[in-house]
Amino acid sequence: MRKHSREVDVLIVGGGQAGAQAAIALRSQKYDGSIEIVGAETDLPYERPPLSKDYLSGAKTLDRILIRPETFWKDRSIRLTLGREVIAIHPDEHTATLDDGSCVRYAYLIWAAGGRARRLGCEGGDLDGVHTLRTRGDADALAADLSSAEHVVIVGGGFIGLEAAAVAAGRGLRVSLFEAQDRLLARMSSNTVSRFYEAEHRRRGVEIRLGVEIERINGRDGRVHSVSLRSGEQIECNLVLVGIGIIPNVAPLEAAGATCSNGVWVDELCRTSLPDIFAIGDCAAHLNRFAGGAVVRLESVQNANDQAITVARVLTGQRQPYDAHPWFWSDQYDLKMQTIGLATGHDATVVRGDPAQRSFSVIYLRDGYIVAIDCINTTKDYVQARKWIGALRRPDLIALNNAEIPISMVPNKEL
């Protein structure tokens, strides 16, 4: 038997949205056992979405993005072990080893370690001035460099890259964004949405290049001074932000024998293949009916919160399978994009409203059923579309296409 330094009823690995919410949900469900959160960062648990938005721009400080104040955790007897990582799991012994050599014996373990930012694998990817944006420390380092930057190169046309581009452009900086696909937001949105955001960013001076890849990042005195494209072109810059996704942090689970593939696989109750070990949030791969039954990882606040609640209910005697509506949002300039559902496998789209008016929605359908909706400055559509997502109802497409008809009033074709 491995020696352990302490015992805890529920050990939560990861101090982000999922881990924090798991502890909050357990106490909300009247769980009275001991709880410990082990987090790699030294900060109290905080919200990550503002990092590329209000926090990076300076509109919000750290205290305004904390999930709960320090007194909350103390008052609810939730132990925070910050600045530490779990490096090994021993399922047969129900113990976890931390990077300081200490060992914790647990009754249940909730793995909520999220992921780390994916970096460019090319030469020069580790030069000073080459940033990723995943943590508060990343955001602070990026903001400091932005204060003296002249030309910012952003690699990746997803939400992180576009939100950061909006902040940099708002500071009056020269911004170039490079995307390997032939459009922005290619993995998550329609061509209509992609072209709309491309036009919006171009209108604000962001140079966007599609279908291009970085060959290498060139340095001078240890700091980035240009990027070379595969085409042979070289672009001078003094800051690079890489926003090309995350790598799930599941190595200790995989080494312990958990089933892993692009994350750790969990069932409908968020249980891994290891005894008494759950996984939630960005690192958890699960079957999702809103994705047509595919195995997916959802990197969203919604998923983190709802999976945390699922586990808290299981540990308090309530077996309610995870089956929540996926939703996401993005703030860029004065545009709020809200998405509900997953557009995976859609075979048709309906556009409500006029993109030229900067207020419209794109509805995604599969076999006549609504599977997702992107709402750009159309909160009413977002709220009213919820009842259609995942429901066995086919909307009347003529009425659905008419933005003057509220989605809540669109008739069901099968009635």
Mean pLDDT, range 8-34, rounded to an integer: 98
Of residues 229 and 3, more confidence is placed in 229
Contacts of 356 (CB under 8 A, 6+ apart): none
Give the whole-angstrom CA distance, residue 8 versus residue 5: 10
- Quote the distance between the C-alpha of residue 387 and its chain's center: 24
Give the whole-angstrom CA distance, residue 221 versus residue 125: 14
Phi-psi region of 366 (alpha: psi -120 to 50; beta: other; left: phi over 0): beta
Q: What is the pLDDT of residues 52-79, one digit of tens each?
A: 999 999 999 999 999 999 999 999 999 9
Mean pLDDT, range 307-313, rounded to an integer: 98
Q: What is the pLDDT of residues 139-162, one digit of tens each?
A: 999 999 999 999 999 999 999 999
Give the pLDDT score at 344: 87
Asked whether residue 347 carries a pLDDT value surpassing 60, the answer given is yes
Here the tokens at position 191 are: 């061509």
DSSP H/E element including 142: helix 136-146
Give the pLDDT score at 306: 98
Report the predicted TM-score, pTM, of the whole model to 2 decimal places: 0.95
Asked whether residue 18 carries a pLDDT value surpassing 70, the answer given is yes
With tokens 């939100």, the residue in question is: 163
Here the tokens at position 8 are: 């805890």
Contact predicate 280/22, CB 8 Å: yes
Here the tokens at position 45 are: 């648990």
Give the whole-angstrom CA distance, residue 210 versus residue 131: 21
CA distances from 89 to 100, 285, 292 (A): 14, 19, 33
Q: What is the pLDDT of residues 221-273, one digit of tens each?
A: 999 999 999 999 999 999 999 999 999 999 999 999 999 999 999 999 999 99
Contact predicate 176/235, CB 8 Å: yes
Contact predicate 51/64, CB 8 Å: no
Give the pLDDT score at 4: 62
Beta bridge partners of 336: 331
Counting residues of the chain whose pLDDT is more than 90, the rounded percentage is 95
Contacts of 11 (CB under 8 A, 6+ apart): 36, 38, 96, 104, 106, 108, 109, 110
Counting residues of the chain whose pLDDT is more than 70, the rounded percentage is 99
What domains are there in the chain, each with its CATH number? Answer: 6-116+247-315 (3.50.50.60), 119-242 (3.50.50.60), 334-409 (3.30.390.30)
Q: Share the mean pLDDT of the chain.
A: 96
Here the tokens at position 354 are: 């006029």
Give the pLDDT score at 5: 83
Contact predicate 157/184, CB 8 Å: yes
Give the pLDDT score at 414: 62
Q: What is the pLDDT of residues 191-217, one digit of tens each?
A: 999 999 999 999 999 999 999 999 999
In the chain, the amino acid numbered 140 is: D
With tokens 């995870």, the residue in question is: 322
Q: What is the pLDDT of residues 98-110, one digit of tens each?
A: 999 999 999 999 9
Asked whether residue 3 carries a pLDDT value surpassing 90, the answer given is no
Contact predicate 376/329, CB 8 Å: no
Q: What is the pLDDT of residues 354-402, one digit of tens each?
A: 999 999 999 999 999 999 999 999 999 999 998 899 887 899 999 999 9
Give the whole-angstrom CA distance, residue 89 versus residue 131: 31
Sheet holding 174-179, edge to edge: 130-131, 239-242, 151-155, 174-179, 207-210
Phi, psi of 199 (to 5 degrees): -65, -40
Contact predicate 123/217, CB 8 Å: yes
Which of 169, 146, 152 has the alpha carbon at shortest distance from 332? 169
